[in-house]
């Protein structure tokens, strides 16, 4: 038998009908994750056709994008500030009830960002196909699942059939050798990769992150890497499951148990690329050369080592437009530039380990005067863990604003926004114009860099504070 990639194996295990020249494949979906923003129109489509959700048992809904992070608004003593968001939340509740879908509602202790809770529950498992109406669904690829974002029409297709029409993407191997240096995180690694291959370098491809540097990453680090695959334009990002994966999943509430676990683990072990498997393309990355990274422009590919100078591409229309928006100039350094807001959270960097990293810097220190440090845990479970382990005390003693979970300032749908012209060092995934609020200027970085910048009040290299 020919050697196959991890992606080939997961794809073919879910092919209900193979693709032909004239027709796409019918691909089976194991797990459909749902949130309030990209589903109302899909539920409307079901209603128009008089159809049920075919497999509610393979569907899980949460609310994260437009939900408030202020405790009083979440727990009901104060109404949700953004009216349209409140309406969307109510509609999600109604639709979930009407179609019999399990929903982690506003007060549910298991609620959180959709890409945080899947892994947290042990629902995300190797070899699965996982979809969600959200591009950061690529996060789940960290477990060796084929996980990708879909549009709302496709959300409706999955509701009604538990399958999707898909053309098989190509494969791109990202070979990462060596070890990350101290103070350099998985976030820096993925930003460096996007800088290397560009924001459309992965278009039409499923990435597989491979090599000794990837084996050495923890699950939360793998999730950070796979999460931003879409920022390189990729359809999905995957990492072969190994002992690290199994250890993470063991004992999770919805992971298989006892006998079922043994059978599952044995099957999961088959999901790795065979020796000699052919990829359509490959790229080599040297982990030991990666520095703490920061973006300087208006897409995640406009990124550089934190101590470097902004490349001078004056005359390039796109570059000039980005510099005007950001208020920067080619050739200047970033260290020491003042910041107004620091956001630590999101499906990229809102896990407990990210909060622990931030706490390493913030412990015994204060947020610089005039800087708003907003820390938003990725889920209610992470919030409780951070409070039980003293992290929240460290944050509050430092002067940070500690909130309920949600997507929050990553996209500012819920009213958590950065004001026009302000600079925000953010652990999220997109520095597009206006992403964190109209006119907001976003600088993407790791939780270490974000925390260090909050303390200094300006863009800072975290290695100075570790």
Partner 1 sequence: MQPLKRITSRTVVIASTDIDTDQIIPARFLTTTTKEGLGKQLFADWRYQEDGAPKREFALNRAEAGGAQILVAGRNFGCGSSREHAAWALLDYGFRAVISTEIADIFRGNALKNGFLPIVVDEATAQWLLQHPGAELDIDLEALRLTLPTGASIAFGIEPFARHCLLNGLDEFGYLRSKLPEIARFEAARS
| CB nearer partner 1, residue 220 or residue 430 | 430
Q: Which stretch binds partner 1 (CB under 8 A): 67-75, 101-109, 132-140, 396-404?
A: 132-140
Q: Given strand 441-444, what is the order of strands in its sheet?
A: 401-402, 372-375, 341-344, 423-426, 441-444
Residues 280-299 that bind partner 1 (CB under 8 A): 299
Beta-carbon count within 10 A of 256 CB = 18
CA distances for 11 relative to 88, 129, 368, angstroms: 34, 8, 50
Q: Helix, strand or coil for residue 441?
A: strand
Beta carbons of 408 and 343 less than 8 angstroms apart: yes
Beta-carbon count within 10 A of 443 CB = 25
* String marking each residue 316-355 x if it binds partner 1 according to CB under 8 A: -xx--x----------------------------------
Q: Is 50 in the site for partner 1 (CB under 8 A)?
A: no
Q: Is 23 in the site for partner 1 (CB under 8 A)?
A: yes
| CB nearer partner 1, residue 106 or residue 355 | 106
| CB nearer partner 1, residue 87 or residue 463 | 87
| CB nearer partner 1, residue 112 or residue 437 | 437
Quote the least distance from Cβ 378 to partner 1, whole Å. Answer: 18
When binding is defined by CB under 8 A, the residue of 93, 177, 199, 252 that contacts partner 1 is: 199
Beta carbons of 152 and 42 less than 8 angstroms apart: yes
Q: Is 26 in the site for partner 1 (CB under 8 A)?
A: yes
Q: Cα 173–155–80 angle (5° rounding)? A: 110
Q: Which of 99, 80, 83 is nearest to 39 (CA)?
A: 99
| CB nearer partner 1, residue 229 or residue 458 | 229
* String marking each residue 406-425 x if it binds partner 1 according to CB under 8 A: -----xxx------------
When binding is defined by CB under 8 A, the residue of 31, 33, 53, 82 that contacts partner 1 is: 82
Phi then psi for 172, rounded to 5 degrees? -135, 120
| CB nearer partner 1, residue 156 or residue 183 | 156
In the chain, % helix, strand, coil (3-state, to 5) comes to 40, 20, 45
Q: Is 263 in the site for partner 1 (CB under 8 A)?
A: no
CA–CA gap between residue 312 and residue 180 (Å, rounded):
28
When binding is defined by CB under 8 A, the residue of 56, 165, 215, 389 that contacts partner 1 is: 165
| CB nearer partner 1, residue 316 or residue 464 | 316
When binding is defined by CB under 8 A, the residue of 162, 295, 408, 453 that contacts partner 1 is: 162
Token code pair at residue 107: 């007060």
Beta carbons of 417 and 440 less than 8 angstroms apart: yes
Q: Is 134 in the site for partner 1 (CB under 8 A)?
A: yes
Q: What is the DSSP secondary structure assignment for residue 30, as one 8-state letter?
A: S
Transcribe 300-343 into DSSP letters: TTSEEETTSBPP--TT-HHHHHHHHHHT--TT-B-TT-B-SEEE
Quote the least distance from Cβ 28 to partner 1, whole Å. Answer: 6
Token code pair at residue 142: 């960290």
- H/E element holding 60? strand 59-62
When binding is defined by CB under 8 A, the residue of 93, 434, 457, 463 that contacts partner 1 is: 434
Token code pair at residue 96: 């979930």
Query: Interface residues with partner 1 (CB under 8 A)?
Result: 16-17, 21-24, 26, 28, 37-38, 40-41, 44, 65-66, 82, 84-85, 87-88, 91, 133-135, 149-154, 156-157, 160-165, 167, 169, 199-200, 203-204, 230, 233, 235, 299, 301, 317-318, 321, 411-413, 430, 432-435, 438-439
């Amino acid at each position: 038998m020919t050697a196959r990639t991890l992606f080939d194996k997961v794809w073919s295990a879910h092919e209900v009908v193979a693709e032909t020249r004239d027709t796409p494949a019918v691909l089976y979906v194991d797990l459909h994750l749902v949130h309030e923003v990209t589903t109302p129109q899909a539920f409307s489509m079901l209603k128009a056709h008089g159809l049920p959700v075919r497999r509610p048992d393979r569907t899980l809904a949460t609310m994260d994008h437009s939900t408030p992070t202020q405790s009083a608004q979440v727990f009901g003593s104060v109404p949700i500030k953004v009216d349209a968001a409140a309406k969307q939340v109510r509609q999600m509740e109604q639709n979930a009830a009407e179609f019999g879908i399990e929903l982690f509602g506003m007060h549910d202790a298991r609620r959180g960002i959709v890409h945080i809770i899947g892994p947290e529950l042990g629902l995300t498992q190797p070899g699965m196909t996982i979809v969600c109406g959200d591009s950061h669904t690529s996060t789940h690829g960290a477990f060796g699942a084929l996980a990708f974002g879909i549009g709302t029409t496709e959300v409706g297709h999955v509701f009604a059939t538990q399958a999707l029409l898909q053309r098989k993407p190509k494969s791109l191997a990202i070979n990462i050798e060596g070890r990350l240096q101290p103070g350099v995180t998985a976030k820096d690694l993925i930003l460096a990769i996007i800088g290397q291959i560009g924001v459309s370098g992965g278009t039409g491809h499923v990435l597989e992150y491979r090599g000794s540097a990837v084996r050495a990453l923890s699950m939360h680090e793998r999730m950070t890497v796979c999460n931003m695959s879409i920022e390189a334009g990729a359809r999905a990002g995957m990492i072969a499951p190994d002992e690290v994966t199994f250890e993470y999943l063991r004992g999770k509430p919805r992971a298989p148990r006892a006998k079922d676990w043994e059978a599952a683990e044995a099957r999961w072990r088959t999901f790795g690329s065979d020796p000699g498997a052919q990829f359509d393309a490959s790229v080599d990355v040297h982990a030991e050369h990666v520095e703490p990274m920061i973006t300087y422009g208006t897409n995640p590919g406009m990124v550089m080592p934190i101590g470097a100078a902004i490349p001078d591409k004056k005359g390039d229309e796109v570059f000039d437009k980005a510099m005007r928006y950001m208020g920067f100039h080619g050739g200047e350094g970033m260290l020491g530039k003042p910041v107004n807001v620091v956001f630590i959270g999101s499906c990229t960097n809102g896990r407990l380990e990210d909060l622990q990293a931030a706490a390493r810097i913030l412990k015994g220190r204060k947020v610089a005067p005039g800087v708003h440090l907003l820390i938003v845990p990725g889920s209610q479970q992470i919030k409780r863990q951070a409070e039980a382990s003293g992290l929240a005390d460290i944050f509050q003693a430092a002067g940070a604003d500690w909130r309920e979970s949600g997507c929050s300032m990553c996209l500012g749908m819920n009213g958590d926004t950065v004001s026009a012209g302000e600079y925000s060092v953010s652990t999220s995934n997109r520095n597009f114009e206006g992403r964190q609020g109209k006119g907001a200027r976003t600088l993407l970085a790791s939780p270490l860099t974000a925390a260090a910048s909050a303390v200094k009040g300006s863009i800072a290299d975290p290695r100075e504070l570790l």
